[in-house]
Structure 1
Amino acid sequence: MIRKLVTLSLPVAALVGGAFAGDMLRGPADTSADPAAPDHAAADHAAVDPVADDHAEPKPPVAADDHGGDASAAFGEEGFFTFPSQFFVPLVRQGDMRDMMILTLTLQTNAASIDALGRKEHALRDALLRALMIHANTGGFDGNYTADRNLVLLRKSLMTATKTVTKLPVSAVLIEDIALQPG
């Protein structure tokens, strides 16, 4: 009887202990109630932007980024359009599908263009998948596909494919996840 009681109470004790530990590790919910508490958000903002003054002049946009995009997204608030599903690219060699590349892609843009990119999602997916298949068929995913020079070529071709579909300000194609699934 004791053995059954211990077996049933152990998971309950672990749950209660985990909840208690999580509550203890979580910071205070409202730091504005304690005036002596340091303002970490303001300190982080000041560390990122040394000119945290409201009268500061806006910074001029950078001419171009490393991924072939323009800096037109530098005006306004930055935004990201993440495709709701992953890209699956079959790796075919000599007529046989051996492996599958799985990628999660996001487009870096300004906040005002996110909805417009969502309306063009199907055309963007088609263009990006076409570029991914060309990359796969030319051996881009063979060998060390995560080497920097290979990823730069992949990002550049994805950016070119994006620019052929839309004139919206897309400054970069971000590869969030990339994995090879052996088949």
Structure 2
Amino acid sequence: MIKKLLPILLALIGTGAGIGAGIMLKPSPAPEDLAAVECVPPDGEVHHETVDGEEAVDVDAPTQTEFVKMSNQFIIPIMGTERVQAMVVASLSLEVRTGTTEAVYSREPKLRDVFLQVMFDHANIGGFEGSFTKSDRMDILRRSLVDAARAVLGKDVADVLITEIARQDT
């Protein structure tokens, strides 16, 4: 009798675990009601148009930008319980206000330090596990990198671009 009930019981437990995992790992829904839409007209001045039709001008936004590639790749170890289980290699570029390239290169050691810390933190929370290139995971990493860059360079940073990223399991 137990030999006949065991497969049915295991099937029910497996189905329940699968449903539970699916519910827990379901991606968060995209925000449907955006409060503001950003428009960049030909004059380069950034305008924020709200839902009510009111307009606000962001005078601190960079009007002309250029891209500065970080000179070396970033290598981030992914730790297992006792050893490195994978390595992530990433290349970054910064979109900055025109004329600030020299400031980026003069502050590059500090930028590399804060970028590495952000990526180590991202790795420690599991950001590079599984499907690490999913847009929601990459958005979290990009926002953190932009915040770190702005802490070093101020409002001259418009964006941080992840130009290459790869994971190699050991």
What TM-score comes out, normalization by structure 1 length?
0.61
CA distance in 2, matches of 1:168, 1:118: 16
Question: What SS does the corresponding residue of 1:144 show, helix, strand or coil?
Answer: coil
Work out which of the residue numbers 110, 114, 121 in structure 2 matches 1:123. 110
Over the aligned positions, Cα root-mean-square deviation in angstroms equals: 2.0
Tell me if structure 2 keeps the 8 A contact 1:113–1:168.
Answer: no
CA distance in 1, matches of 2:59, 2:168: 35
Tell me if structure 2 keeps the 8 A contact 1:88–1:101.
Answer: yes
Cα deviation digits, residues 128-182 of structure 1 (max 9, x gap): 0000000001100011001000000010111111122222510111000000012
Which runs of no fewer than 5 residues in structure 2 stay unpaired? 1-40, 49-57
Cα shift at 1:60? 2.4
Alignment coverage as a number of residue pairs: 121
AA aligned opposite 2:74: F
CA distance in 2, matches of 1:175, 1:73: 21
- Higher fraction of helix: 1
Question: What SS does the corresponding residue of 1:112 show, helix, strand or coil?
Answer: coil
CA distance in 1, matches of 2:165, 2:59: 26
CA distance in 2, matches of 1:111, 1:140: 32
**Corresponding residue for 2:70?**
83
**Corresponding residue for 1:104?**
91
**Corresponding residue for 2:81?**
94
Question: What SS does the corresponding residue of 1:109 show, helix, strand or coil?
Answer: strand
Work out which of the residue numbers 43, 48, 53 in structure 2 matches 1:58. 43
Cα shift at 1:94? 1.0
Question: What SS does the corresponding residue of 1:74 show, helix, strand or coil?
Answer: coil
Cα shift at 1:59? 4.1
The answer to whether residue 126 in structure 2 is matched with residue 139 in structure 1 is yes
Work out which of the residue numbers 150, 166, 170 in structure 2 matches 1:179. 166
CA distance in 1, matches of 2:65, 2:153: 18
Tell me if structure 2 keeps the 8 A contact 1:86–1:102.
Answer: yes
Task: Work out which of the two has the higher radius of gyration on C-alpha atoms and give 1 or 2.
Answer: 1
CA distance in 2, matches of 1:59, 1:114: 20
Question: What SS does the corresponding residue of 1:88 show, helix, strand or coil?
Answer: strand
1 or 2 for the larger relative contact order (CA 8 Å, sep ≥6)? Answer: 1
What TM-score comes out, normalization by structure 2 length?
0.65
Question: What percentage of aligned pairs have identical amino acids?
Answer: 30
CA distance in 2, matches of 1:96, 1:62: 50
- Higher fraction of strand: 2
Which runs of no fewer than 5 residues in structure 1 stay unpaired? 1-50, 52-56, 64-69
Judged with a 3 Å threshold, the aligned counterparts in structure 2 of structure 1 residues 104 and 71 are, in CA distance, closer, same or farther, namely farther
Q: Which moved more, 1:133-142 or 1:166-175?
A: 166-175
